[in-house]
Chains A and B, each alone.
Chain A
Amino acid sequence: MNRHLISAADLSRDDALLILDTAEELARMSDRPIKKLPTLRGRTVVNLFFEDSTRTRISFEAAAKRLSADVINFSAKGSSVGKGESLKDTALTLEAMGADAVVIRHVASGAPHRLAGWIRGHVINAGDGMHEHPTQALLDAFTIRRRLGLQPGAGASGGIGRRAAGRGGSRTGGARTGGGARTGGGGLDGVRVTIVGDVLHSRVARSNIALLNILGAEVTLVAPPTLLPIAVDGWSCEVSYDLDAVLPKSDVIMMLRVQQERMTAAYFPSVREYSRRYGLDAGRMAMLPEHAIVMHPGPMNRGVEIAAEVADSPRSTIVEQVANGVSIRMAVLYLLLGGAELSGEAR
């Protein structure tokens, strides 16, 4: 794996599966009385958040602490009015503090790339502007894999069955081989994922599209034309403006948050029209195949892109996405920091 996790698009299929499989093992920890592993003891992880995001920051903090790392939270003002220290000066301060890894969330696309040039530690992108949010895509893929029963050793291969998420170890005497060589299975090959909403401004969408393709899924985007990037034809996915047509052919439907401010910039005429054409309500949910799941990276605009009853239905993975986030972030921290330092220059 690279020194840094900045972009899901940079992961190979093997890298991605390694992260998912590692998270699979770490997820079992949440059943144990002692939810701590000694692996990153003595290492320092800094959460450098220039954008408010309590949930993501807490998730990374929990992940680091469960691996016994020391966590330092560094909240800073973003750029533009009211700007404090420059990103570069902040980076040099962290470097002086000996941060082994910096988790950065920033309003500007490309901030992690700049940071990687200024520090020796590992950089983990927790969301940069409109560019990428790789750990979100990883936890989304992990959630899909579990919900659709596609994780390695889940049993019957082929056919996407609807399975409850496995929890903890409660097998006795079962025939099982340990974590051996990955055969390439455990991906999302052939899974039909539909992403709905403001793709143009969404780092979650970009990361997911990249990672889903790497894992073999088939991606379809549904959005008004104004919310799709101009060169989307060059992306590895289908595009549709008609949500109803796509619903029956989706194994996963991923709703993106739509910001009300987009209305004033004339991306769509009104929230009502957006919701009417692109919102997932109970009626549309009924058009999904029986096994299909509904996902949302959060925070949700209940009643705009997703109806309350859909968000709260059993098909919805919204709550477990949060739990899976900690396991994924533990896996990422372990894989980046837990082994030997890779030779070679910082990215």
Chain B
Amino acid sequence: MHARTDEGSTGDGPGGDSPGSYKRVLGPAEIRRVLSRIAHEILERTHGADDILLLGIPTRGVPLAERLAGRATEFEHRTVPWGSLDVTMYRDDLRLRPARALGRTELPADGIDGKTVILVDDVLYSGRTVRAALDALTDLGRPRSVQLAVLVDRGHRELPIRADYVGKNLPTSQHETVRVHLAETDGEDAVLLGEWKEALA
């Protein structure tokens, strides 16, 4: 019985490193459009994003948060702040693997109190990463509200968690792997869907 983790958020999910057979579900152009759409949606729902803060969950949530903040800044002609929130220390599956390296947590000087925090991640799967992010936020302050933006929602939630903004809904079976590549971390923009390779112990 393998432990499922949300692949892509820390970059070391099961599936080994062998690409196997992958299907490209989204390419660079689609991702660009999707992110623009999400940025617009955020601005719409938050009525101009007066006090929002985009926090990307390392690894790939961070460049996504940066891009979204950039788009929103463009559209609103006003700086939309972004940062990063590492959730490693709050995960519920720490004891299943050797201790992992921590990602960077970077918040604005005035913290998160009273803000609308929008968590940004690449793939939403079991929901446990987001649960950990909510716990991390609790120790950092008291946001006015918390929302969630993801590039891909692949279903199979194990907790009552849902995304406010979704780039693409991608129904998958649990044997399949979803990989997100971003130019900042992987040299290209793509969402890949493939067969799950046996994870080595």
Contact = CB atoms under 8 A, between A and B. Distances in A.
Given A38-B135, A339-B95, A178 B86 contact: yes
Interface stretch (A84-92, A164-172, A197-205, A214-222): A164-172
A189 B103 CA distance: 24
Nearest to A25: B102
7 contacts: A22-B102, A172-B82, A172-B108, A177-B185, A179-B101, A180-B11, A339-B98
Nearest to A34: B139
Interface string A2-27: 00000000000000001001100110
B109 interface: yes
B121 to A, nearest CB: 12
B13 to A, nearest CB: 15
Contact of B94 (A39, A172, A176, A342): A39
Contact of A178 (B62, B73, B108): B62
A338 interface: yes
A177 B63 contact: yes
Nearest to A21: B101
Interface of A: 1, 18, 21-22, 25-26, 28, 32-34, 36-39, 67, 153, 168-180, 182, 334-342
Contacts of A26: 102
Given A172-B108, A178-B59, A25 B139 contact: no
B139 A32 contact: yes
A158 to B, nearest CB: 22
Nearest to A18: B101
A173 B102 contact: no
A34 B89 CA distance: 14
Nearest to B102: A25
Contacts of A178: 56, 58-59, 62, 84, 86, 103-104
Contact of A179 (B58, B90, B107, B135): B58
A21 B99 CA distance: 13
Given A178-B56, A180-B59, A39 B89 contact: yes
Contacts of A338: 89, 94, 99
A173 B109 CA distance: 12
Interface residues of B, number: 39
B141 interface: yes
Given A37-B89, A39-B94, A176 B62 contact: yes
B138 to A, nearest CB: 8
A340 B98 contact: yes
Given A177-B62, A340-B95, A172 B83 contact: yes
Nearest to A35: B139
B102 A34 contact: no
Contacts of A22: 101-102
Contacts of B81: 172-173
Best-surrounded residue of B69, B94, B95, B135 (most CB of chain A within 10 A): B94
A173 B105 contact: no
A172 B79 contact: yes
A66 to B, nearest CB: 10
Nearest to A36: B139
A230 B108 CA distance: 54
B184 interface: yes
B99 A335 contact: yes
A337 B140 CA distance: 24
B74 interface: no
B106 interface: yes
Nearest to B84: A178
Contacts of A334: 89, 99
B100 interface: yes
Given A172-B82, A178-B86, A179-B104, A339 B58 contact: no
